[in-house]
Amino acid sequence: MEGTPVAVLDDTVVALDAVLQSGTVGALDAGAMMHLLRVAGEIQRRVEAVIVEAVASVDPRPAGSGEPAFCGRFGCRSMNELLQRVLRTDGASAARVVKAARLVRREVDLSSGERLPARWPALREALLDGALGVTGLLAATGPIEQAGPRVRLADRWEADAYLAEVARGEESCDGAENSDGAENGDDAQNEPGPAPTPEDLRVRAQLIVQYLDPDGAEPAEDIALRARGVVLGRAKDGVIPVRGALLPEVAGQLQRIWDAYLNPKVDGPPLPGVHFVPSAVLEDSDAEQRNTAVSPDDDVLPAGDPGGMVDGRTRAQKQHDALAAALGIAARHDDMPRLGGAAPTLVVTVGAEDYATGRGWARIEGAETPVSTRVAAHTACGGTVQRIVLGAGGRIVGLGSSDRIFTPRAAPGDRRAGR
């Protein structure tokens, strides 16, 4: 095993362990610490190159008939899963390694059995030399790869050679080549500048794409229109997850609605549902608050917070309630299309006995998960109730009219309480 790649890397691990366990890293001065970071960066980039080269050398297809692929031999479904387990990294980082390996993989010629050039040969050599890491490789190739077939093969190879020179520091910031023959003979101008960051490589690649593909891809608006969408997921823990992507103008409008409701000068979005409290209770609470002297320097709120002065909702919960209020307003708006001659209405179905006792479950039209009868009671308070009598087999045998529970003749001693 001596002299093999694994043995060499094992020795490197032993050396790194000795450095970490020596306890001398924190005692270095500024200059030595800077030098340590530079050397650590050199090691990190070369370790990434070893990983990428190893992944690129693995044949993703089965080696023979009936023989499992490389990942299958170790009980993994994909190279991504194998890297997550071996490198102890997350899925996104493993995906970046797999993507980088595709860019530098050297396929085998079927007729001669020789290795063909990589898709990005010059950047591959720069990766193996430690001039850039996985992040730099993906940054340099990303914009050109995204342009796809609109960039010719010869142009891509020319861009590959140029970006490799930039990654090695052989190109100055203004694009002029750093050669020994400076016109003014100033040695300072011949010294290479700071090593380019991945963002610098991405900017260079974007400039190349603008030159090679001036018309660009299809307009971003068309891509955004196809990518937009909102999906309601499956119920979990009593809530429905929302996934999707909003157009910028839609997201901006939603943000403005949230800003309006979350403005400190207003009471905030209303709490979900409706609740009623006897007027006497609210009047007693208001009187207690008026009679309670609070010092300006006293940060202690009245015990029990009877007036509801403290809003314990998080910002995300307030945004949820603001969206619920906005949907309710939109449903009642004159411009909202009608369903059966009425505004889009939330329909909650509950058995009469369950509604009377407050036990059991109710169902919301359009949602799979059942809800408590409290939701039905809250909906009835702010909407109308229609009584339906079901016969055998679920047939409707009686249909009452839609009535509001509280009419103008409601008891004057009750009033709605809420935000």
Percent of the chain with pLDDT over 90: 31
In terms of DSSP bridges, do strands 396-404 and 384-390 run parallel, antiparallel, or are they unpaired? antiparallel
Tokens standing for residue 355: 């509604």
> How confident is the model at residue 111, as a pLDDT?
84
Residues 257-261 have a mean pLDDT of: 83
Residues 333-350 have a mean pLDDT of: 68
Between 29 and 410, the more confident residue is 29
Residue 320 makes CB contacts below 8 A (sequence gap 6+) with: none
> How confident is the model at residue 368, as a pLDDT?
58
371 pairs with which residues across the strands?
362
What kind and span of H or E run contains 368?
none
Between 316 and 412, the more confident residue is 316
Is there a contact between 371 and 391 (Cβ–Cβ < 8 Å)?
no
- Segment 272-285, tens digit of pLDDT: 655 555 566 556 65
User: Please, which pLDDT band fits residue 337 given cuts at 50, 70 and 90?
Assistant: confident
Q: State the average pLDDT for the chain.
A: 76
- Segment 354-385, tens digit of pLDDT: 767 777 777 766 565 566 666 666 665 555 55
User: Please, which pLDDT band fits residue 328 given cuts at 50, 70 and 90?
Assistant: confident
> How confident is the model at residue 70, as a pLDDT?
84
Is there a contact between 240 and 233 (Cβ–Cβ < 8 Å)?
yes
pLDDT for residue 24 is more than 60 = yes
- Segment 177-215, tens digit of pLDDT: 444 444 444 554 555 557 889 999 999 999 998 888 776
pLDDT for residue 172 is more than 50 = yes
User: Please, which pLDDT band fits residue 6 given cuts at 50, 70 and 90?
Assistant: very high
Instruction: Determine the Cα–Cα distance for residues 344 and 365; give it in Å rounded to an integer.
Output: 12
Domain extents in the chain: 29-177+190-221, 229-291+303-417
361 pairs with which residues across the strands?
372
pLDDT for residue 54 is more than 50 = yes
- Segment 86-121, tens digit of pLDDT: 999 999 999 999 999 999 999 888 888 888 999 999
pLDDT for residue 44 is more than 60 = yes
Which DSSP letter does residue 356 get?
H
User: Please, which pLDDT band fits residue 392 given cuts at 50, 70 and 90?
Assistant: low
Lowest mean pLDDT among 17-21, 90-94, 296-300, 391-395: 296-300
User: Please, which pLDDT band fits residue 408 given cuts at 50, 70 and 90?
Assistant: very low
Is there a contact between 413 and 278 (Cβ–Cβ < 8 Å)?
yes
Instruction: Determine the Cα–Cα distance for residues 355 and 9; give it in Å rounded to an integer.
Output: 71
User: Please, which pLDDT band fits residue 296 given cuts at 50, 70 and 90?
Assistant: very low
> How confident is the model at residue 387, as a pLDDT?
62
> How confident is the model at residue 50, as a pLDDT?
96
- Segment 55-86, tens digit of pLDDT: 999 876 554 545 567 888 888 888 999 999 99
